[in-house]
Amino acid sequence: MATWTFRRKSPAEKSRNPMQDEFFASNSEAGALVREAIQNSLDARLDENHPVRVRILIANDKKRLDWDATTEWIDTGAWGHFKASGSGLKDIPFDNSACPFLVYEDFNTKGLNGDIYQNAECDGVKNAFYYFLRAEGQSDKKEGELGSWGVGKIVFPKSSRLRAIFVLTTRSEDSKTYLSGQSILKYHKVGDQVYSPDGWFGEIGEKELGLPIDDSQIINKFSEVFSLSRKNETGLSLVVPWPDENITFENLTKSVIEEYFYSILTKKLEVLIETDDMSVQLSEDTLLDEVEKLDTSSEKSLVQLVELAASVLTQPKDQIIKLPRYTGNKPEWQPEMISEELVDDIWGILDSDEPATIRVPLDILYKEDARVEHTFFDVVIKKAKDNVAKPVFVRDGLVITKVLRPKSPGYISLVSIIDSPLKTLLGRAENPAHSEWNVGSDHFKGKYSYGRDYLNFVRLSVKRIIQYIQKDDEEADASILADLFSIPKPENETMPIPEPSPDPGPDVEPPMIPPIPTKEPYYNLVKIDNGFRVYGKKEFTRVREYCIVMAYDLIKGNPFNKWHKADFLVQELTIKTKNTSNYEAKDNCIKFTADNNQFDIEVNGLDINRDLKVRVTSQVAENA
């Protein structure tokens, strides 16, 4: 039977206690666990056409183990080390106490592939087994992947009151299943003997090399005792005995949503969180509903953020507004990047209460060989009158939570980095917790000609774009009829002039409050008996592309994301067109091109008993 083994400290060995915890000290236990565990799972994705599936079980009640059941997995000798003076443990479980545990499992992942006998880093050799179980501060991941420092795995033992974990893996390269375990303490004494921090659960091979268990009877019993759901699927299953009491169902759910909403919405990730008596499935279809159930002061802004990301992900690519490149080699924001016509395009979208997606080009110049890589990132902004939050930065699905960036009051905003060269650059600048960018990072320093400027260019993007589009209209906040049909606001409506205060004096004129201007769109939108009409308004000289999307309104959630063909199909409605070209009508969307403002689209045949939302956007045609 496998047991726990701690290696004796040799006389020549320097005492050096593990310090990796400090990289994650500012994170909550649940937040750190979710962030590091899921990014490792996403990096190990097996089939890119299907999401990574994660299951997290908190066994606090019915499924927890009684003391006698734990002795097969944590023997008396192991307890001698856990209770030893200097072990570093501060909340050791009492004898005969029941053992709650946490299970983390991922599926559609590769598992810990690699030679189980490798005991040192080998150049060019990928070995997930070695790097996960035998290395610290080393990684075989490429720079720019979600996890690449080689220290994030500390969050698993850090989550245990014993600083211990069990590791079961089924590998994609050979379908073999192995079981092992680790504990990371401090240098400690048992009797008169000093032991090293690292404990190993499994077998011991030559030269004291810890080896995993491959006995199917032991593995099957372990899987049953700890309620694993893995059968023959490849991936990783981790068990954390006596988890930190702050790792709760509510905290895990909130952390998954806050950290990985984007990966869930892009169908890269699905997460099941379970306890003995409740569960939640977080997927693209359920995410928004589950956000709205959160009992937290940040729930409103989180709902807005998830809705923003969801609407952008369904936005047609031809609706992205593309900025020209800045002038010169050094990346810097320049007012000339956003022309008056682009300002009008952006405001045409914002005033429709829809998000504007703005693609920003960037050229990365390498210091060593003067190589240039062309890349881009997307800035998404939407008007949100009461919002005072800072922009959210997402690198390849991971929210980078502590980027220094200014607030954007009146807007909710998202910066998405999905292009490989920029993903790699920003990944190199991240700290081990992947929560902020640091120009002094060892992975980043000295690689780029304008390293600090690249970070600032991305970091300040939302602020600069809002600054440039508001240069003629610092307080623009009026809205036009482009959303929910109701009584249209008169086109020339102005803000009311307040009554003068009583007895202002014979020579005091009441102040005139000028109306707040709004950017005029390139269309009119009006309601008709069982539909609507879109026709030209503002004159233009360059060909414009229009997109009309419609959906029946809902009590909650984004109606455009939840439109269903059972509601209606535009190709089955009665549509009259005038002075349009490249006309296309499919599902809930109408697209067309207009040469001037004499165009006219009339849509009839919709349900008069349901509220209709209509989103109209337009931009200059690419070849205009």
| CA–CA separation, 456 and 403 (whole Å) | 10
Work out the pLDDT band at 20, boundaries 50, 70, 90: low
User: How many Cβ atoms from other residues are within 10 Å of residue 405's Cβ?
Assistant: 21
Over residues 19-42, the mean pLDDT reads 75
What six digits make up the tokens of 337? 């990047």
Residue 355 has pLDDT above 50, yes or no: yes
What one-character DSSP code corresponds to residue 479? -
**Residue predicted with more confidence, 107 or 16:** 107
Residue 480 has pLDDT above 50, yes or no: no
Please name the amino acid found at residue 219. Answer: I
- Orientation angle between helical segments 420-429 and 451-459, nearest 10 degrees: 100
Over residues 445-472, the mean pLDDT reads 90
Q: Which pLDDT score, from 0 to 100, does residue 418 have?
A: 93
Residue carrying structure tokens 């010169």: 328
Q: Which pLDDT score, from 0 to 100, does residue 148 have?
A: 43
Written as one string, the DSSP assignment of 225-259 is HTT---SS--EEEEEEESB-TT--HHHHHHHHHHH
Over residues 404-430, the mean pLDDT reads 91
Give 182's strand partners: 165, 200
What six digits make up the tokens of 360? 């920003």
> How is the chain split into domains, by residue range?
3-296, 310-469, 479-496+504-518+520-624
Residue 596 has pLDDT above 60, yes or no: yes
Residue 163 has pLDDT above 60, yes or no: yes
What one-character DSSP code corresponds to residue 482? S
Work out the pLDDT band at 393, boundaries 50, 70, 90: very high
Span 60-83, pLDDT tens digits = 988 999 999 999 999 999 999 999
The mean pLDDT value of the chain amounts to 86
| Residues 59-73 as b or e (16 or more Cβ within 10 Å = b) | bbeebbbeeeebeeb
The alpha helices in 106-146, defined as continuous H runs, are 128-133
Over residues 22-28, the mean pLDDT reads 52
Residue 204 has pLDDT above 50, yes or no: yes
Q: Which pLDDT score, from 0 to 100, does residue 150 have?
A: 43
**Residue predicted with more confidence, 1 or 157:** 157
- Does the structural domain 3-296 have CATH classification 3.90.320.10? no
Over residues 471-492, the mean pLDDT reads 36
> What is the value of pTM for the model shown?
0.73
What six digits make up the tokens of 94? 């009492």
Give 264's contacts (C-beta < 8 A, 6+ positions apart): 256, 257, 270, 271, 282, 283, 284, 287
- In percent, the amount of the chain with pLDDT more than 70 equals 86
